[in-house]
Amino acid sequence: MLKKVTFLMCLLIAGFAVVNTPAADDSKEKQFFTIKLVEQAESGKVKQLAECFMEVNPQGKVSYFSGGSVPGLEGEQELKFGVQVKGTVKPAKDGKYRALLKLRVTNRVFQPEETQAAGTQLTKTEAVEIRTFLEKGKTKQLSCGGRQAVELRLE
């Protein structure tokens, strides 16, 4: 009988512990971040070189990769290509957000067949590091020099 009473008390206590466990905080509004790398042609037409749309995690971190890789030769490390974004977007003063970001756009450069046969692999990377303040719902355009610009938007 004592075992039954003890078992029932344990169940009752465990039940209260489960009931009092706080639920996940869904009250925080999800945030989404968009980054674009654009280039203006001489004709005035804007060409989009890369675009990423991602969710900002609760700690303010953003991470994105879209691309592939070229296998290494003779045990070498593979060469990655594509679009990669890493960084943070965290609340700051006056309703603004502080963005610290690294954008890398890597393209494969195809070689003539005779060079490929000699085991040559080539990628070209453009990298942009950004530190800026953003306002929710507003697009911010930053010149990267020449005809290129980066567009940032937080929703």
pLDDT, residue 60, reads 93
pLDDT digits (tens, 9 = 90+) for 108-143: 988 888 766 677 888 999 999 999 999 999 999 999
Number of other residues whose CB lies within 10 A of the CB of residue 135:
13
Percentage of the chain beyond pLDDT 90 is: 60
State pTM to two decimals: 0.73
The candidate with the shortest Cα–Cα distance to 144, out of 35, 30, 65, is 35
Buried b (16+ CB within 10 A) or exposed e, 67-105: eeeeeeeeeeeeebbbbbbebbbeeeeeeebebebebbb
Cα 99 from Cα 11, distance rounded (Å) = 49
Q: Which residues contact 144 (CB under 8 A, 6 or more apart)?
A: 37, 128, 150
Q: In the chain, where are the structural domains located?
A: 29-154
Strands 61-70, 96-108: pairing kind: unpaired
Q: What is the DSSP letter of 110?
A: P
Average pLDDT along the chain:
85
